[in-house]
A and B are shown apart, each in its own frame.
Chain A
């Protein structure tokens, strides 16, 4: 299959070039942030001498291009440098935060993706009848309400009133898996509600689109029942757009959950990034930006690859 390998190689190369381009943008972007790291670190109590001392120590006086090349070289070898503010090793501290974020995203995805696809199929099966309308209404409502509001409402009802799950989703190494899952129950629920509608609507639309085809009619005429037609004939042909939207939402679960992390005090990447942005800790902001970009590009690339692989015309070229 030379064509397909060529296509895949092209996709991956494109992804890498895009990532390099983004790294340049990130670096340039952080350069033009207003304010000064030293001033932000020392706060209102800074004296001019202390500011000058800190600036010199942090190497803020070097030319930008030199810093970019050094940074990119380090990033490729897994060394993201040290945080200006705390002097901590960035790779190490991001590793911990990233694994927390992935933990949350993983459990949200485990629940949300199958649920969304199942609800989408259900909506197609009962198109324009009450299950379809109810699923659409509920999921659209949950995506329309701002996520922090859903968070606060759940927090009030479930954590404060019923006391089933904690409102502070604090996890640490000393906890068992069960305890961790209990701690993240609320944020996982909110994230599920937020990403559900998008994936479910896309599944429904993609499959409905396929359902217009002649071969579906043939399948029905063969005597297959509604679900069999959807599963065996419609779903495999609608997989590309569904995977696309699933990947977009997975990316959102990793890079877009800052608000949820703040509301539930979850020690993930979002909070880590926000803290460092407000202190103008440029190396950390760059590292986070690079990781977020890599996640986004990686997941979208995966979606493309799945789309290619799921297309029989590309798998079996004439």
Chain B
């Protein structure tokens, strides 16, 4: 490449040349806009994060009823707030591994039953107090007591005892669990002074920002924590505005009122991306949309009926039409490549002949009733109609019944034998399978009852050898794919957007939306 162009790009990145001028000069040197843009981005990265400025976010999901208490967090906005002011012991990194946060390091006993976390030396809460192992123990206690309201209670159940030992926190489990550190990355478990028992909603923690004003469900402003130990948190101020309306959120980004939004509607994402100063980021994640059958209820108790339906769905068509391409095809398993120990298997395709074969073999005759509603996932009625059409081609008489949104989760999901639903995914296979596919799970919404699967799940949990564990999960995946009640046509991407006022977006970071909600801390305002 041309030296002169690099010189220009460095100038542009340093702010001595406007982006427009740079692009014009690059074009004059014979470079396409795309190549010049890439070069400019890489030069800006090379210049490193810039400090200062304000990052303004417009996020969906917040409500006036929200609380700053991390135990009660249920939506993207409250999750983002916890990220700003607090930190858990460890955190998922961009590659899907774990980085230490409040804990510097951790180790397991040989049987993975006792875990020791070493607390990072010399870090303080934003109220000035230093972090002790006792604060960590109290935090864990607050989320696991029988009278707790914490959303993390479910993952705290297997913990027998948490105790402080000098700078270490020792966690003892009922049964071995090789994934315990991943559980500790749960966002509810932000470490609070004294466990947050006295004032759970104080918003005091070890995070890179300090909450300055919080009008819940409206607007929250946070400022840089001057004593933060880590190297993230580049902007001086973070302003978070709750914008629940899709069109309003996109308009706020387009009019330059905010620099970053989440949940760009897939239908319009390509149009939004066309604006010169806006980039739409699509990140694959563990979230998926599903059609679930109860394996213990007629006619779905016959595996041939289940197989007929699995061959009767056109997965690619759903990704194209329901997700508008912002997603990937599923393979009748809740696990995809976003999980650490994923093994790829042959993709199941739409095959009317095989569907017809299995239907004949099952001996089932007559219609099959599928229940759906608008809120079971965005576009669920459309997806159900597509499913109905593709089934028709295979001679399956699928009848779609539209249910009201209100009460769908209490009346239909996990009650009716065949319906649409969604899962947000979990960070590890163990958690996902334990939550929804273990035969004793509360949310075993496919009534999947497979002894071999259950045994493998418990054995894998205790296995510290990654290769052996990966094989176990592969076996479980096969069992579930060929016998389970889950039809998983698609994994939905997280679709976020930023303006070119910001830099530092990491493509395909693991975890959830907005770079696992670290985008305001890891991105920076361009000088």
- Take A166-B255, A271-B217 as given contacts and tell me if A45 and B248 are in contact as well, using a CB distance cutoff of 8 Å: no
* A228: interface (CB < 8 Å): no
Q: Please, what's the 1-or-0 string for B62-77, where 1 marks a CB less than 8 Å from any CB in chain A?
A: 0111110000101000
Contact mask for chain A residues 48-78; partner B; CB cutoff 8 A; 1 contact, 0 none = 0110011000000000000000000000000
CB–CB B151/A262 < 8 A: no
Docked-complex contact B410 and A263, CB < 8 angstroms = no
Chain A interface SS verdict (over half): helix
* Chain B residues, CB < 8 A from A125: none
B147: interface (CB < 8 Å): yes
**A168 and B257 in contact, given A42-B151, A156-B251, A265-B243 (Cβ under 8 angstroms):** yes
Give bound CA distance, A18 to B338, whole Å.
60
A278–B256 touching, CB < 8 Å: no
> In the complex, what's the smallest C-beta–C-beta distance from B405 to chain A, in angstroms?
11
Measured CB to CB, the closest approach of chain A to B200, in angstroms, equals 10
A86 at the interface (CB under 8 A from B): yes
Instruction: Return the CB mask of B235-276 against A: 1 if under 8 Å, else 0.
Output: 000000111110110011011111000000000000000000
CA distance A74 to B407 in the complex (A): 32
**Which residue of chain B lies nearest to A268 when distances are taken between CB atoms in the complex?**
B218
- Picked from A34, A83, A172, the residue with its CB within 8 Å of the CB of B65 is A83
Closest to B242 in A: A265
B153 within 8 A of A: yes
Query: Is there a chain A Cβ closer than 8 Å to B113's Cβ?
Result: no
List chain A residues, Cβ under 8 A from B66. 86
Contacting pair B407 A50 (CB below 8 A): no
- CA–CA, A231 to B303, complex, Å? 83
**A34-B406, A166-B257, A265-B243 as given contacts; A172 in contact with B148, CB under 8 Å:** no
B310-342 interface bits toward A, Cβ cutoff 8 Å, 1 = contact, 0 = none = 000000000000000000000000000000000
Question: Cβ of A272 and Cβ of B241 under 8 Å apart?
Answer: no
A35 with B410: CB separation less than 8 A? yes
Residue picked from B148, B149, B150, B256, most chain A C-beta under 10 Å? B149
Contacts of A265 in B (CB 8 A): 241-245, 248, 252
* B248 x A275 contact (CB < 8 A): no
Q: Closest residue of chain B to A261, judged by CB?
A: B245
Say which residue of B67, B74, B218, B410 sits within 8 Å of A170 (CB atoms): B218
B409 touches A41 (CB 8 A): no
Residues of A within 8 A of B150 (CB): 50
Given contacts A159-B255, A168-B252, are A42 and B245 in contact (CB under 8 A)? no
> A47 touching B154 by the CB < 8 A rule?
yes
Q: Please tell me if A264 contacts chain B, counting CB pairs below 8 Å.
A: yes
Alpha-carbon gap, A85 to B75, bound state (A)? 14
Residue B58, interface by CB 8 Å? yes
Kindly state the separation between the CA atoms of A43 and B409 in the bound complex, as whole angstroms. Answer: 10
Q: Which chain A residues lie closer than 8 Å to B242 at the CB level?
A: 265
- State whether A50 touches B257 (Cβ < 8 A): no
Known: A54-B149, A152-B247. A276 touches B252 (CB 8 A): no
Question: Is A163 in the interface zone, CB < 8 Å from B?
Answer: yes
Q: Please determine whether A168 and B241 come into contact, CB atoms closer than 8 angstroms.
A: yes
A172 to chain B, nearest CB (A): 7
User: B419-434 interface mask toward A, CB cutoff 8 Å, 1 = contact, 0 = none?
Assistant: 0000000000000000
B151 x A45 contact (CB < 8 A): yes
Q: Give, as a whole number of angstroms, the nearest-CB distance from A283 to chain B.
A: 12
Q: How far is the CB of B148 from chain A (nearest CB, A)?
A: 7
Contact status B154-A264, CB under 8 Å: no
Q: Which residues in window 135-151 of B have CB below 8 A to A?
A: 146-151
- A172, B215: Cβ atoms under 8 Å? yes
Minimum Cβ distance to chain A for residue B265 (Å): 13
Q: Does A279 sit at the interface, judged by CB under 8 A?
A: yes
Interface assignment of A23: CB less than 8 Å from any CB of chain B:
no
Contact flag A50-B63 (CB < 8 Å), given A43-B74, A168-B241: no
Cβ contact within 8 Å between B407 and A267: no
Q: Which of B58-114 contact A (CB under 8 A)?
A: 58, 63-67, 72, 74
Q: A41-B72, A263-B247, A279-B63 are in contact. Are A167 and B257 (CB under 8 A)?
A: yes
* Contact indicator B149/A167 (Cβ below 8 Å): no
Q: How far is the CB of A183 from chain B (nearest CB, A)?
A: 10
- A50 near B149: Cβ-Cβ < 8 Å: yes
Q: Are B217 and A170 in contact (CB under 8 A)?
A: no
**Cβ of B64 and Cβ of A271 under 8 Å apart?**
yes
**A272 touching B219 in the complex, CB below 8 Å, given contacts A42-B149, A50-B153, A167-B255:** no
Residues A262 and B244 in contact in the complex (CB < 8 Å), given A42-B151, A160-B254 = yes
Residues of B with C-beta under 8 A to A54: 149
The answer to the question of B216 belonging to the interface, with a C-beta cut-off of 8 Å to chain A, is yes
**Interfacial chain A residues near B64, Cβ < 8 Å:** 86, 93, 271-272, 275-276
A residues in contact with B410, CB < 8 Å: 35, 39
A35 smallest CB distance to B (angstroms): 7
With an 8 A cutoff between CB atoms, is A176 at the interface? Answer: no
Interface residues of A in 180-199 (CB under 8 A from B): none
Contact status of A168 and B407, CB under 8 A, knowing A42-B151, A262-B244, A279-B65:
no
Q: Chain A residues near B146 (CB, 8 Å)?
A: 49, 53
CA distance A35 to B409 in the complex (A): 10
Quick one: given A83-B65, A275-B217, are A53 and B147 in contact (CB under 8 Å)?
yes
* CA distance in complex: A265, B255 (Å): 14
B248 touches A155 (CB 8 A): yes
Per-position 1/0 for A268-284, Cβ under 8 A of B: 00011001101101000
A44 at the interface (CB under 8 A from B): yes
Kindly list chain B residues whose C-beta atoms are within 8 Å of the C-beta of A49.
Answer: 146, 153
CB under 8 Å from chain A, chain B span 167-194: none
Question: A residues within 8 A CB of B248?
Answer: 155, 167-168, 262-265
- Rounded to whole angstroms, the CA-CA distance of A281 and B65 in the bound complex is 8
Q: How far is the CA of A282 from the CA of B225 in the complex (A)?
A: 38
Q: Mark A123-163, 1 if CB is under 8 A from B, else 0.
A: 00000000000000000000000000000100110011001
The chain B residue with its CB closest to the CB of A276 is B65
Q: What chain A residues lie within 8 Å of B149 (beta carbons)?
A: 42, 50, 53-54
CA distance A160 to B241 in the complex (A): 18
Q: Which residue of A lies closest to B151 (CB)?
A: A45
Q: Which residues of A contact B258 (CB under 8 A)?
A: 168
Chain B positions within 8 Å of A47 at CB level:
153-154
For the complex, what is the distance from the CA of A49 to the CA of B219, rounded to whole Å?
33
B216 nearest in chain A by CB position: A86
**A residues within 8 A CB of B251?**
152, 155-156, 159-160, 167
Residues of B within 8 A of A93 (CB): 64
A-side contacts of B215, CB under 8 Å: 172, 267
Q: How far is the CA of A35 from the CA of B215 in the complex (A)?
A: 27
User: What are the residues of chain A within 8 A of B407 when measuring CB–CB?
Assistant: 34-35
Interface centre among B63, B64, B244, B245 (most CB of A within 10 A): B64
Partner of A45, one of B65, B74, B247: B74
| 15 A-B residue pairs with CB within 8 Å | A50-B150, A50-B153, A85-B65, A86-B67, A152-B251, A160-B255, A163-B256, A167-B257, A168-B258, A262-B245, A265-B242, A265-B248, A275-B64, A279-B63, A281-B65
Binding site for B on A (CB under 8 A): 34-35, 39, 41-47, 49-50, 53-54, 83, 85-87, 93, 152, 155-156, 159-160, 163, 166-168, 170, 172, 262-265, 267, 271-272, 275-276, 278-279, 281
Kindly list the 3 A-B residue pairs having the minimum CB-CB distance in the complex, ordered from nearest.
A85-B65, A275-B64, A43-B74
Q: Given A50-B148, A155-B251, A262-B248, 6 other A-B contacts at CB below 8 A? A: A42-B149, A45-B151, A49-B153, A87-B67, A159-B251, A167-B257
